[in-house]
Chains A and B, each alone.
Chain A
């Protein structure tokens, strides 16, 4: 009797296990969602981060440098630039981390002042800041688009008017992209002669903040934020919220391709909540991530 009950209990356990076993199934979100999210994510990281980082460091440094109280100045310099080496190499060159600013001895907060930026490690990085006055600058830049989700090399370029917001914080200074456009495109045509690109146009002023101070992207470069896995395309440390933009995609050399256009509404997003509404092909969809 004991043996029989033992066998039956084994049988019951196995049957229970069997009921949990079925054809394993993996389901995914709608294909269009994935495509749109990846395109927006690439634009957000590639265009906004690369267009803002150099300006963000420069403006913070200049504003802190203008503090007359030495102790307070030292405090904020230490707070904001803790992980970066900041040096005035000579009267005309300022180094913040691995960005080298040719200042020409001018103050970037003064209207008409122009700074050009290069990186210590050369990877085709060109960045120009021109002060328009009233805490507003024109930024034109181009560089290799590192930390991309795409395997083939791509380049990012931007031409924006960016203003410093009224935020009271030096550390988490918020900037506003008031106008302009940026683009990420394949560096070269592929084996089929196709060359793709996505462009971003500012429709309503978009706010952005560099949200991971202390990480010197231009030192650690590609695919090293948080992971050593070369297949992992990490998130660039920028938060984008407010306003609206248009993203267009086109492929040169592909005659059958119809240009795509997405309207991205970030009015519901904030620094802490990434709510993105995207309009494509007559349909509005919300994404939260």
Chain B
């Protein structure tokens, strides 16, 4: 992503600051809730023999939040085009049902999203900007729980749509931003830092 943005820079006019890189963190990840609906966190119900014999239990699942990296190019003052990647993951604590011994933390699933979109900056001042964004693309959800259940990894593809109804960024070249998020990667808000060059 960074290489792409840096290569774009060579085509831009110097000093125009038309490129932007933004790193953010936010939540809530809908993938965590969607996934937990069909992930069996109880003991396996395949058969009575299997159920009685199983001792490992996924005791707690925790989502790490969503980390995003976005790259923009501003051909116009009020318009930017860009690409965005997001990563999230759930980690669980595996516990022995009879001894309550903590076995290990392990990744339950990982989701990687890549999308392209546009940003509309409708309020511009030297230090403050208000904007909205729309992104669409695809993603992969890697089911790591299968590894724990001795069945290998499973990868699910998914469609990704992400929008920022409103965001505010403060700063000139190096800035910070806070934005509302609505989409398949994040529902809620995210914040981070950006750099224009």
Q: What residues make up the interface of A, taking CB atoms closer than 8 Å to B?
A: 3, 7, 10-11, 14-15, 17-18, 20-28, 30-32, 34-35, 38-39, 149-152, 154, 184-186, 189-190, 194-198, 249-254, 257, 260, 281
Contacts and interface: CB of A to CB of B under 8 A. Distances in A.
B62 interface: yes
Interface in B9-60: 26-29, 32-33, 36, 41-43, 45-53, 57-60
A125 to B, nearest CB: 20
A257 B59 contact: no
Main secondary structure of the interface of A (DSSP, over half): mixed
23 contacts: A14-B168, A14-B189, A17-B189, A18-B178, A20-B188, A23-B27, A23-B62, A24-B27, A24-B29, A24-B32, A28-B41, A31-B57, A31-B95, A32-B97, A32-B100, A38-B51, A154-B48, A190-B49, A196-B47, A196-B49, A196-B51, A198-B48, A249-B52
Contacts of A186: 47-49
Nearest to A15: B178
B134 to A, nearest CB: 18
A188 B59 CA distance: 30
A207 to B, nearest CB: 26
B149 to A, nearest CB: 13
A22 B27 contact: yes
A196 B48 contact: yes
B63 interface: yes
A254 B114 CA distance: 46
A17 B52 CA distance: 44
Contact of A25 (B58, B60, B123): B60
Contacts of A253: 49
A182 to B, nearest CB: 14
Contacts of A250: 52
Contacts of B168: 7, 10-11, 14
A196 B43 contact: no
